[in-house]
Amino acid sequence: MIRKAQAAGQFYPASASGLDKQIKQLIEENAEREDALGLLSPHAGYIYSGKVAACCFSRIKLTKTVVILGPNHTSLGAPFSIVSSGRWQTPLGNVEINSSLAKEILKASKYLQEDSQAHTYEHSIEVQLPFLQHFLAEVKIVPIVVSIADFKTFDQIGKAIAEGIKKLGEKILVIASSDMTHYEPQQKAKANDNLAIEAILQLDGRELLERIRRFNITMCGYGPVISMLSAVKALGAKGARLLKYETSGKTSGDYSSVVGYAGIVVQ
């Protein structure tokens, strides 16, 4: 099965040449690269969040396979879904799913289900792929979409990911795709995002969820982030660092209602 590109022409250019040109304008070609277990990367249109995403992918050493967790914006399909075979299409070519790893994760999880419907129109995973393809043409992925849940569910999904990775016996990067605060004034967005970022830098998924609820932080992918943190902690993560933070106001010039974007590496 080939999952057709849905965000091409909307979130990023529809042509291979146009997409390649935009990515080259965004990335930091000479940036020093470092090992990483986990990554938080945004998923808005490249004109808004592309610099933050490009900063992330420019500064880490990619692994041959990447697990990508995204939120379910469409409400379609199973609430916690994984696809264990096939390929994902972008203008730069097709990205193959690592079936061996996906099946190990599925076997280890109490909550994940084999389901493609949740992924069909979901952009949060797709927009990560062109950056991966630019730096590593033969990269493979394991796509996972998660919906709203409690900490126990997100935590178990993360631990299932870690269990699958350990069984495979390879170093695997785990990416959480999320934008931060949505449609708040710049000052409030930054304040709320700082609260969320602080919890992530402490590798504390439970505290992140508590702050999301207490301060009504409109971060769309907190579930993927919590699962990513649980996964990388089980794989031995010791710390995290903020690579870049911006809001949509920098592009639009409108600071009365912005969306926040953060890039965080976990090691």
Residue 211, both tokens: 């702050």
CATH code at position 106: 3.40.830.10
Q: Check whether 1 has a pLDDT greater than 90.
A: no
Task: Give the range of the structural domain holding residue 179, as residue numbers without chain letter.
Answer: 2-266
Q: Which distant-in-sequence residues (6+ apart) come within 8 Å of 207 by Cβ?
A: 199
pLDDT at 101: 98
Query: What is the average per-residue pLDDT within 67-79?
Result: 97
> What's the whole-model pTM score?
0.98
CA 179, 181, 185, 187 torsion-angle sign:
negative
Q: Where does the pLDDT of residue 24 fall: very low under 50, low under 70, confident under 90, or very high at 90 and above?
A: very high
pLDDT at 178: 98
Say how many domains are in the chain: 1
Q: Check whether 110 has a pLDDT greater than 90.
A: yes
What percent of the chain has a predicted confidence (pLDDT) above 70? Answer: 100
Enter the DSSP assignment of 60.
Answer: B
Q: What is the pLDDT of residues 83-97, one digit of tens each?
A: 999 999 999 999 999
Q: Which residue has the tokens 């952009």?
A: 123
Q: Where does the pLDDT of residue 214 fall: very low under 50, low under 70, confident under 90, or very high at 90 and above?
A: very high
Q: Which distant-in-sequence residues (6+ apart) come within 8 Å of 91 by Cβ?
A: 5, 8, 13, 14, 15, 16, 18, 19, 130
Candidates 70, 48, 53, 47; CA nearest to 174 is 70
**DSSP string of 6-55, one letter each residue:** SSBTTTB-SSHHHHHHHHHHHS-TTPPPB--SEEEE--S-HHHHHHHHHH
Query: What is the average per-residue pLDDT within 171-193?
Result: 98
CA distance 152 to 137: 36
Q: Where does the pLDDT of residue 19 fall: very low under 50, low under 70, confident under 90, or very high at 90 and above?
A: very high
